[in-house]
């Protein structure tokens, strides 16, 4: 697969070429992503770094001018929702901008209605509450299996490697119906795709290869259908949907449900470990977990930015002049700390009245797997702290290293002392 590029990468290359008036650019040859584009991803610990540059205060900033395009950052809650919901003036579809209207890009994140509506309707049956609740026993079993392995590895373990990442990976693999023998290869392709520090070779290369892996898996299941999401979609619609479209949907499910949930499990565990009253609340009060998870989603907002939106016309964006073709990026993590929404949003407070958040995005591109992610978190956290009620950090919080140049914010490792274990029957 090395050397191959996905349709999505090729379309991005054409966009750059059209904006600059030059030949297509090999994005995989870029040695590094310009530092100014990393500014929205910067955090201090769990908190977003609010200062973008020397521009005047406000919810809209021009982040950069690259490849002949302006790149704008929108950071206020109201403004983010407006950009994500506005179908008339903004588009997620790159194809019209590069003269490739008939090309297949696959996936929900890069399409608009009516194509987006058609593709999303293929996934909707897999993410109804009835279907999600059917997955609960298997998720519980996966979590318990990981806790058993944690205890066997103790007394000091890395929760990132042995708890946070395996759980959503196994859930997504089972949801998609990926054979066990293919999962190690898929995991090897998955980790680099969200890390932008490696430049084009890392980011675009990893994305292309994982998409091509899923295209292979789709073609295998068209020939020999399994009972996972891929097989069920193909059985339901057959030749009415292309392999590229199904693979794009699978890639969206994986992108939205793996590293994002893993980061929530790791960083959410850190939130509980930093203040034992939060850990004890989850451990001792069955009724608390829904509120804890919802506040974690808002407070952490691990998906830092939404899919880029492209201006379909010249427009005024909250006082800034945006040109047709400009890129507009919604900063989700900043929007969820917008002081105009409520007081003291920089503090984790599980007793806070429900506060609106955009951790799953907003509008018609809102994450289709939001309820699956919630379910995984609601199952995993209580089981973890009840199995290991003496769980504690094995390092000082200041020693932790965070992945603050990634679209999905994360902690690199989370060493913990497990302490005494309780039987899995008490989880």
> Scanning the structure block, which residue is given the tokens 């203040």?
275
- Do the Cβ atoms of 55 and 423 come closer than 8 Å? no
| 2 within some domain | no
Domain region containing 56: 7-426
| 181 within some domain | yes
> Scanning the structure block, which residue is given the tokens 């994360």?
410
| 323 within some domain | yes
- Closest by alpha carbon to 273, among 415, 422, 424? 415
Helix (H) or strand (E) holding 415: strand 415-417
The C-alpha atoms of residue 43 and residue 74 are separated, in whole angstroms, by 17
State yes or no: cis peptide before 240, omega within 30 of 0. no
| 279 within some domain | yes
Phi, psi (rounded to 5 degrees) for 280:
-65, -35
- Closest by alpha carbon to 349, among 412, 294, 423, 414? 294
| 126 within some domain | yes
- Do the Cβ atoms of 311 and 321 come closer than 8 Å? no
| Tens digits of residue pLDDT in 384-425 | 999 999 999 999 999 999 987 788 899 999 999 999 988 655
- The SS3 assignment for 205 reads helix
- For the chain, what is the domain count? 1
| Tens digits of residue pLDDT in 82-122 | 999 999 999 998 766 555 555 555 568 888 888 889 889 99
Average pLDDT score, the chain:
84
| Bridge partner list, 417 | 156, 392
In order along its 427 residues, the chain shows pLDDT tens digits of 233 345 545 545 554 454 445 555 444 444 455 556 666 677 888 887 665 544 456 789 888 776 667 899 999 999 999 999 999 999 998 766 555 555 555 568 888 888 889 889 999 998 999 999 999 999 999 999 999 999 999 899 999 999 999 999 999 999 988 888 888 878 777 766 655 555 545 556 667 788 888 898 899 989 888 888 889 999 988 888 888 888 888 888 888 889 899 999 999 999 999 999 999 999 999 999 999 999 999 999 999 999 899 999 999 999 999 999 899 999 999 999 999 998 899 999 999 988 889 999 999 899 999 999 999 999 999 999 999 999 999 999 999 999 877 888 999 999 999 999 886 555 5
| 98 within some domain | yes
| 284 within some domain | yes
Please state the pTM of the whole predicted model: 0.87
The C-alpha atoms of residue 373 and residue 260 are separated, in whole angstroms, by 9
| 348 within some domain | yes
Which domain CATH number covers 134? 1.10.630.10
């Amino acid at each position: 697969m090395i050397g191959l590029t996905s349709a999505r990468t090729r379309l991005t290359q054409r966009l750059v070429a059209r904006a600059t008036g030059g030949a297509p650019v090999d994005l995989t040859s870029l040695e590094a992503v310009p530092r100014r584009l990393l500014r929205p991803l910067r955090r201090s610990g769990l908190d977003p770094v609010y200062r973008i540059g020397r521009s005047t205060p406000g919810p809209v900033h021009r982040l950069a001018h690259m490849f002949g395009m302006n790149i704008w950052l929108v950071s206020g809650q109201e403004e983010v929702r407006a950009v994500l919901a506005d179908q008339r003036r903004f588009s997620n579809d790159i194809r019209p901008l590069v003269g490739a209207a008939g090309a297949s890009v696959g996936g929900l994140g890069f399409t608009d209605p009516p194509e987006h509506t058609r593709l999303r309707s293929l996934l909707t049956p897999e993410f109804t509450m009835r279907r999600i609740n059917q997955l609960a026993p298997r998720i519980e079993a996966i979590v318990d299996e990981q806790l058993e392995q944690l205890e066997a590895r103790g007394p000091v373990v890395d929760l990132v490697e042995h708890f946070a990442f395996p759980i959503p990976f196994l859930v997504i693999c089972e949801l998609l119906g990926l054979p066990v023998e293919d999962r190690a290869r898929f995991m090897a392709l998955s980790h680099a795709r969200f890390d932008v520090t490696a430049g084009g070779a890392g980011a675009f290369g990893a994305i292309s290869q994982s998409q091509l892996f899923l295209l292979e898996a789709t073609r295998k299941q068209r020939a020999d259908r399994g009972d996972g999401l891929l097989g069920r979609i193909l059985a339901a619609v057959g030749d009415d949907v292309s392999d590229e479209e199904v693979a794009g949907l699978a890639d969206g499910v994986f992108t939205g449900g793996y590293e994002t949930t893993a980061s929530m499990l790791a960083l959410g565990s850190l939130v509980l470990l930093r203040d034992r009253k939060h850990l004890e609340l989850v451990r001792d009060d069955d009724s608390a977990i829904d509120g804890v998870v919802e506040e974690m989603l808002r407070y952490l907002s691990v998906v830092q930015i939404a899919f880029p939106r492209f201006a379909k016309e010249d427009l005024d964006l909250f006082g800034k002049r945006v040109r047709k073709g400009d890129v507009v990026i919604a900063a989700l993590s900043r929007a969820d700390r917008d002081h105009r929404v409520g007081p003291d949003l920089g503090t984790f407070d599980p007793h806070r009245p429900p506060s609106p958040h955009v951790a799953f995005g907003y509008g018609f591109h809102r994450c289709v797997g939001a309820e699956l992610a919630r379910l995984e978190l609601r199952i995993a956290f209580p089981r973890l702290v009840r199995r290991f009620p003496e769980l504690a950090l094995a390092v000082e919080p200041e020693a932790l290293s965070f992945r603050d140049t990634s679209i999905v914010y994360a902690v690199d490792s989370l060493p913990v002392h497990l302490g005494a274990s309780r039987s899995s029957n008490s989880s």
